[in-house]
Structure formats: structure tokens, C-alpha cells
Amino acid sequence: MTQHETRDPSALHTPVLLERCIELLAPAIERAADSGRDPVVVDATLGMGGHSEAMLSAFPALTVVGLDRDTEALELAGMRLARFGERAVRVHAVYDEIAEAVRAAGFPRIDGVLFDLGVSSLQLDAADRGFAYAQDAPLDMRMDQSRGETAAEVLATAPEGRLRAIFERYGEEPLAARYARAIVAARAEAPIERSAQLVDVLQQATPAAVRDQRHPAKRVFQALRIEVNGELAVLERAIPAALGLLRVGGRAVVMSYQSLEDRLVKRELTQRSRSTAPPGLPVELPEHRPEFRLLTRGAELASEAERSRNPRAIPVRLRAAERVRDAR
């Protein structure tokens, strides 16, 4: 019996805003089924398959194409979704590769797409992955451990200016310059290869008054994770690609867990939901009408009950939109 065969994916992960995601995607799925087509939804961040399992259970004609860059997550999701047979298609891919993955699966367009962004429960809970500053582990932080530069390699090779920029841009860290200097000084003495080493460097570089207010490692670890995985650059490509795949009536649901992601998602959905008619035009021509309409008023939050039940729902921001006009 392998390690994964002894692990129950449903026990490892509680999906965030599960019922709300199903509620938002349901009209698009039902519309496809009513028209005589078998509906297709892409779970762009499959993880351990909790959202996909719920969708496949609720809609017997549905096919879900699940993408994930983490091979361990794909394996665990495969166990969870095995009973759905060919209706659950798993693809090892980063979500900006969504168009290629959908075409390879044999679908020209899709009826829905779901993004559950950020680091997964599997990655956070696996101490040896180096994502959590509260657990000592090798500083890896790659979501796909088969490729790319590790966090330790970034810390070892990046010039001080680049480290400062990473912490400022991706962590919005006010002490970015101080931390970058401290890391460069510390690595001259010994390589920073484990999370406990990095936390110690950051603690020593943090004024006592700041240490009393917040953990100094939180924003730096977030920034390193985003840098290692290219998360914002990938998301900036992925959202337009996913929207482009949706049929008229198709819906996109996106859950973000930090402000940088949410701002990017908000900008893209808002722009696509506005008229492109030049100011002063007396009549809006069809080609200027919005391609999408927003389904949420601002960003929706998890309820107090869900936050209490599932602490990982505390920072979530959900946005959704429906395609109302085909741009083609």
C-alpha cells in the first residue's frame, strides 16, 4: 500500500465556499444540459478534488477537466474522483495552460470555470514542502516539485535589490529593504536552506515593536511563494484565457486569498463587464456591449459559520461573472 493509498483526500481538505460555488455554476451547467449538450466545467485548481467531487455528484451529465501543477494533489484527487470514471479528466498543467488542456481533452468551449487560488491545504500541511513559516522544513515552496527554482535557490542567488522588490511587490512588506539586507548578510555566513533559518534571520532583523504586532515571516514567505511559482504572472494570463473559452451563458467563479490576486481578478472581470463604446456615442453598437455581467456585488466573503468551521475560509474573496455576448 502506497503512502497516498493510506490518506483520505476528503479528510485532508475542506473545500471553501463549496455550496456558493455550486450555486453560481449551476445555471450554466443546467443550461447546457437543457440544450442537449453534455456540460463541461474546468476546475483550474483541482487540488484534492473537493469542489470537483461536489459538482460531479450534483450534475450526472457533467464532465470536469481538473488542472493542477502539483502531481501529489493530482494523485490524491484521482482517488477521490475515481468513481466518476471518464467524467473526471485530470491534467498535469499550470492554469495558464487552460486553453491547451481543454483542447487536448477534446472540448472546443466550456460552460464554466472555477479558480480556487493560492496555496492548497495539501501544500500547507506537508511540513517538508517549506510553505509554512511555523514548521521547520527545507525551503522548497514549489507547487510543482518536478521543475523550477526553489525558495532556497532564490535566497541564495538573488541580489539584494531583487529580494527587496520581491518582498515589496508580492508581500507588500514595509520592512522589505531591511529584510533583504539581513538575508544577504546572513547568507554570506551560511546558506539559508531551511524555514527555521529564514525565520530566525527575519526575527533578528525586526524591531521589537513590530514583532509584538505581527509575525515577521508571514509576508516574506507569501512573497517567496508567489515568486517561486510565478503566481501573479500565471494568473494574469490564465483569467483572460479562461474567459475566452466560455460559451454564452458560461460562468467563471474565482476565489482569491490575498489582495494582489483579488485586485487582478477584479480588474479583469470589471473591464470585461463594461461597454467599450466611445464616450458620447449616441447609440451603443452591438460590438461595444459588454461580453460579461458580474454575478457578485464586489467580493463575497465566507459566512461567520464557515469561518469558524474552516479557518482557511477567513481570507477568501469570491468574484463571479457570466458571458452574455460572444466576442467572436
The Cα 48–Cα 79 span in angstroms is 9
Judge whether 68 is annotated as a binding position: yes
Please give the sequence-ordered ranges of beta strands (E in DSSP) within the chain, or none if there are none. Answer: 40-43, 63-68, 88-92, 110-116, 246-256, 292-294, 317-323
Judge whether 123 is annotated as a binding position: yes
**169 contact partners, CB below 8 Å, separation of at least 6:** 223
Judge whether 116 is annotated as a binding position: yes
Judge whether 49 is annotated as a binding position: yes
Calculate ∠ Cα 46-322-29, nearest 5°: 60
DSSP per position, 182-247: HHHHHHHHS---BHHHHHHHHHHHS-HHHHTTS-TTHHHHHHHHHHHHTHHHHHHHHHHHHHHHEE
First vs last Cα of the chain: how many Å apart? 51
Q: Which cell goes with 157?
A: 542567488
Q: Which residues are annotated as a binding site?
A: 49-51, 68, 95, 116, 123
**Residues annotated as binding site for S-adenosyl-L-methionine?**
49-51, 68, 95, 116, 123
